[in-house]
Amino acid sequence: MSKLLSRFQGSLVGAVLGDCIGAVYELGGEITLSEILNTIYSIEASGGTDNKGKQEEILYSYTDDTAMARSVAGSLIKHKGFQLKDMVKRFTSEYKSEPDRGYGGNVTTVFQLLDNPELEDLYEPARKQFDGQGSFGNGGSMRIVPAALFSYNKDHSYVQTLTRQITEITHSHEQAIQGAILQCLAVHLALHADNTTPLDTDLFVDNLKTYMNKLEEEELKKPKVLTPTKKRTTRSSEKRDKPYCYKLDKIKEYLNQEKEVTVQELIDVLGNDISALGSVPAAVFSFLRSSKPMTGELKDRNSFEKTIIYAISLNGDTDTIATMAGAIAGAYYGIEAVPKSWQTCCEGVTDAIQYANQLEEFVSKS
């Protein structure tokens, strides 16, 4: 297998595993590392096969995160690029055929409005959400990984434009769009980073900050709209002018300080909730922190495994933080780092590998 294919497969499979395993704990209150490890041990003990060596039943199902990422992948592959009508159709058909995949509380209204052949402006339903503010949820970020693979040969401005086009179908709030861009850029950067030497985490954060700084500066220059965009939060880190840049600075600080940052501080500063601003930075941090040695129960795990387990241990929106962290980690470490037993226990892995193969074929030819 080529190195690129391994990283494409790692990224899409990593995303599926983070969603499936993370969904066991989503918004379920406080969970301990030992509890998560018990789930992992049971996955590894089954090895994904029964005692006759036959593949066992899927133990963990994917949720909205993967359901929507599959639509993104399928549409980009089919049309060799972004095709608004087709992507909308895939989102709405997917939702109609399986509405119980755990979608966010309000995005379903968008799907219902989009499912109207008379509708002319397909971005209108998203813009109308929350009295015209748009959703700041992480639903755009959680599904964006195929766009990063598709953009492999392109630069960051292409990544940003494509991400915006895909995200605005459901999420028009600038923080949701910027979160999806941050996630997509992180996967793109991870795919391109040299993985034969230890990851330069400072450089990784600096690169992301360069792009996010430009976005946040541009946003500050825009005239303030009549209905100010508000974000329901008590986190002081999010009341700043450039909250994504602030969080990236904090990520760098946590990675370099001698004392291990506590989960509580991460939740207080980076967040672990269903907003984009309150979850994408946590996913990026989970990947970066797991590239460095750890003590305790995760000490002997590889960095991909650490990323998923660590991301879930932040509590809150566990499936979404783990799917985003898993996508970045898989893009960096490749499919060889992803335990086989984890793959066989989770729904949607075979399809993820197929999408990765098709996307790799596309970028290798273009």
Report, in Å, the least distance between residue 121 CB and ligand 8NA. 19
- Residue 88 or 189: the one with the smaller Cβ distance to ligand 8NA is 88
* DSSP string covering 193-206: S--SS---HHHHHH
**From the CB of residue 223, how many other CB atoms can be counted at a distance below 10 Å?**
5
Q: Kindly list the residues in this chain that would bind Mg ion in the complex (CB under 5 A).
A: 63-65, 102, 134, 172-173, 317, 319-320
- Tell which positions 333-352 bind ligand 8NA, by CB under 6 A: none
The single residue among 123, 130, 158, 362 that binds ligand 8NA, judged by CB under 6 A, is 130
Q: Kindly state the tokens that stand for 350.
A: 């075979």
Report, in Å, the least distance between residue 207 CB and Mg ion. 26
Report, in Å, the least distance between residue 18 CB and ligand 8NA. 11
Using CB under 6 A as the binding rule, whether residue 362 contacts ligand 8NA is answered as no
Report, in Å, the least distance between residue 357 CB and ligand 8NA. 26
Using CB under 6 A as the binding rule, whether residue 291 contacts ligand 8NA is answered as no
- The torsion angles phi and psi of 198, rounded to 5 degrees, stand at -55, 140
| d(C-alpha 1, C-alpha 4), whole Å | 8
172 binds, among Mg ion, ligand 8NA, none (CB under 5 to 8 A by kind): Mg ion
Q: Kindly state the tokens that stand for 273.
A: 């909730």
Using CB under 6 A as the binding rule, whether residue 64 contacts ligand 8NA is answered as yes
Cα angle value 217/178/203 (rounded, 5°): 75
Using CB under 6 A as the binding rule, whether residue 29 contacts ligand 8NA is answered as no
Torsion of CA 266, 262, 190, 292, to 10 degrees: 170
Sign for the pseudo-dihedral over CA of 153, 155, 157, 163: positive
Using CB under 6 A as the binding rule, whether residue 238 contacts ligand 8NA is answered as no
Report, in Å, the least distance between residue 278 CB and ligand 8NA. 10
**From the CB of residue 59, how many other CB atoms can be counted at a distance below 10 Å?**
17
Could you give the C-alpha distances from 171 to 108, 132, 143, in angstroms and in order? 12, 11, 12
Given the rule CB under 6 A, which residues bind ligand 8NA?
26-27, 63-65, 102-107, 130, 133, 135-139, 142, 173, 232, 274, 317, 319-320
